Amino acid sequence: MTTILRTPPTWPGILLSRVEVADPLDLEAARDRGSFAGLRRAVHDLGATGTIATVAASGLRGRGGAGFPTGAKWRSAAGTEASRRYVVANGYGADPSSMTDRTLMERNPYAVLEGAIAAAAAIGASEAIIAVRSDATDAIRALETALTRMIAANLAGDDILGSGASVEVSIRPVQGAYMLGEETVLLKALEGKRGQPEQRPPQPAQRGLFGHPTIVQNVQTLAAVPWILANGAEAFAAVGSKASPGTMLIALRAPGGGGVAEVPIGTPLRDIVGLAGKDTVKDLKAILVGGPAGGILPAELADTAYEFEALRAVGAHIGSGSIVVADKRACIVDLARLLTRFCADEACGKTIPCRIGLRRVSEIGDRVATGVPRPTDGQLLADLSSDIVGSALCDHERLATLPFASGMRYFRFELDEHILRSSCPAGVCRPIAVAAGAAH
């Protein structure tokens, strides 16, 4: 079981508020703690339009990484003429370094299911699919049990709470690779095809699963919905930052320890990193924010707010909610090349810039790190990265250039040392360390 980091008592809890309960699957206990009030209100009082309006007013944004306004997405799906619509909850949790989605589904499956059902009722979808990584067996078991109990309590299935709305929920374990975190790739996988992204527009909200309007929402987004419906849009908007209200689960990894924590969006990175222990902040060299395709931020930027726009401005992104702390022993070039190689190897191979381009970026990194760089490699890296971003199909290739792009932006000195002087300041890249040693 994942460690849940203790957060300051002033930080609000929305997603994991039921975490102390010994049995998270106890439906009655959950109901006592406020679950299902949101769903009841949605199907009885608010109706479809009211639900969407409430979600839109709350300012909730997608937690999958892009931060797209949830209300707008629902409105788009509901407004597209169609014979059927789908809700897909993305609980795939592709990033191996981030256990947030899995933790949420294990600890609070009712919130995910309730949110999915409320979303389905709001956009007029008859089916909600919870896509879970097939090896996350605990999460699957939790969801299945929770769903069975909800159906028994008339909270899912036909004629929910006597409102006449019917939503068929299914838990779909999917097998696949890193790319399944991308919406269109996940939809392809659910259709039984090879997971490869589709060109957007049209967005899945207009043409998604099997060609029908589909809203694909991260499980964290859906889990916030019941809270919003129960407590009102204003209460939610007051939490977190103004532009992106609410809380998020983050997965923190630091030399001193790590775990999952629920943090209000907009919290400075320094405070989040501090959750792993006081020493972590002291020895800080860089913070990798956003998973394997994230940005590498220097210690000087530790005061940046953990928020969509603020992070994008400094060359990182929320991504999978993963935050990895590197201390003084780390070599940024080495880190960036490993991350790029991971992204290159996990590419689906559909587009040229992604399949070959990312591989070439990682080869440049390899050359630099192993002490055989070409003199033009610094420029080549910059040119290639910008061209990959320029003609990218999906966010995977666009973001996979970030480790090097941000690494070069903040740690240019280290890269230059590697290329021009064949030495690794951190002493990590071995052949170079040998070369540097021989020079003395």
Contacting positions for other proteins (CB under 8 A): 177, 179, 194, 196, 198-199, 201, 344-353, 355-360, 363, 376, 380, 383-384, 387, 389-393
Which residue matches tokens 């996979």?
400
Choice between 48 and 356, CB closer to other proteins = 356
Strands in 322-327's sheet, in edge-to-edge order, are 257-264, 247-254, 322-327, 284-289, 295-298
Minimum distance of other proteins from residue 133's CB (angstroms): 16
Minimum distance of other proteins from residue 372's CB (angstroms): 12
Residues 411 and 332 sit within 8 Å (Cβ to Cβ): yes
Choice between 253 and 359, CB closer to other proteins = 359
- Cα–Cα distance measured from residue 85 to residue 31, given in angstroms and rounded to the nearest whole number: 29
Q: Which backbone phi and psi does 290 adopt, to 5 degrees?
A: 110, 10
Choice between 293 and 384, CB closer to other proteins = 384
Choice between 19 and 352, CB closer to other proteins = 352
- Cα–Cα distance measured from residue 392 to residue 386, given in angstroms and rounded to the nearest whole number: 10
Minimum distance of other proteins from residue 366's CB (angstroms): 9
Choice between 134 and 199, CB closer to other proteins = 199
Collapsing DSSP to helix, strand or coil, 4 comes out as: strand
- Cα–Cα distance measured from residue 40 to residue 22, given in angstroms and rounded to the nearest whole number: 25
- Strand spans (E) along 136-218: 168-174, 214-218
Strands 284-289 and 247-254: unpaired
Minimum distance of other proteins from residue 343's CB (angstroms): 9
Q: Amino acid identity, residue 408?
A: M
If you ran DSSP here, which 8-state letter would residue 203 be given? P
Neighbours of 198 (CB within 10 A): 19
Choice between 61 and 396, CB closer to other proteins = 396
If you ran DSSP here, which 8-state letter would residue 77 be given? H
Choice between 270 and 367, CB closer to other proteins = 367
Minimum distance of other proteins from residue 200's CB (angstroms): 9
The contacts of residue 280 (CB under 8 Å, 6+ apart) are 254, 255, 256, 273, 274, 325, 327
- Cα–Cα distance measured from residue 349 to residue 247, given in angstroms and rounded to the nearest whole number: 35
- Cα–Cα distance measured from residue 220 to residue 115, given in angstroms and rounded to the nearest whole number: 9
Choice between 3 and 199, CB closer to other proteins = 199
Residue 40: both structure tokens together: 């009841």
Strand partners, 4: 260
Choice between 338 and 380, CB closer to other proteins = 380
Minimum distance of other proteins from residue 376's CB (angstroms): 7
- Strand spans (E) along 96-209: 127-133, 168-174
Collapsing DSSP to helix, strand or coil, 140 comes out as: helix
Minimum distance of other proteins from residue 208's CB (angstroms): 15
- Cα–Cα distance measured from residue 160 to residue 79, given in angstroms and rounded to the nearest whole number: 23
Minimum distance of other proteins from residue 195's CB (angstroms): 9
Minimum distance of other proteins from residue 192's CB (angstroms): 12
Choice between 106 and 377, CB closer to other proteins = 377
Minimum distance of other proteins from residue 188's CB (angstroms): 11
296 burial class (0-12, 13-18, 19+ CB within 10 angstroms)? buried
Minimum distance of other proteins from residue 214's CB (angstroms): 18
- Cα–Cα distance measured from residue 233 to residue 57, given in angstroms and rounded to the nearest whole number: 6
Choice between 148 and 376, CB closer to other proteins = 376
